[in-house]
Copies of this chain bind each other. A is one copy, B any other.
Amino acid sequence: MTPPHTLPVPLEKSYRLINHGPTVLVASAHGGRRNVMAAAWNMPLDFAPPKVAVVIDKATYSRGLIEASGEFVLAVPTRAAAAQALATGSRSGRDEDKFAALGIEAYSADKVGAPLPGGCIAWLECRVIPEPHIQQTYDLFLGEVVAARADARLFRDGHWHFDEAGTRSIHYIAGGNFFATGDAFTVE
């Protein structure tokens, strides 16, 4: 089952889901195991085909799942899910299923095996673009976005509409300190 109230986002607009620099969850799965971790260090890398970059530390359980499966999901959590997002960083998927332990729903992705975490408003399904040197040297992973989905109440016609809904994405600094995504404004 895909997450409720969501629609696919055209691939050429998918970069806009993370162009404003939100902290994301990274979901992964391989061989019957799955995991989810938070990652502030992520960004779009290209428009068409859409690509992303994300830092996945060698110490994480997610790292092995991503390397083995060649897939990951970047998901944009809401402010209401910020505590859950932070908690993904203080537990290890080696010891437990973090989805179950933290009460995070796991929905079905459209194109990859990794789950789409609940408490989120956008998801980018990615296949790893193998670049072993930068993966090993910098923990830097590149991915091609093969499917994207968003909460249709918040992202429509290629743009976020946070102000109407009150729901916001989040931006992590350190020590449990976040900023919510703030006021929308337009300049010529």
Contact = CB atoms under 8 A, between A and B. Distances in A.
Nearest to A170: B185
Contact of A21 (B51, B133, B171, B188): B171
A68 interface: no
Contacts of A100: none
Contacts of A42: 43
B185 A20 contact: no
Interface string A153-174: 0000011101000001001111
A138 interface: yes
B186 A179 contact: no
A82 interface: yes
B185 A79 contact: yes
A55 interface: yes
A43 B54 CA distance: 9
A183 interface: yes
Interface string A7-34: 0000000001001111100000000000
Contacts of A178: 184-187
Nearest to A142: B138
A172 to B, nearest CB: 6
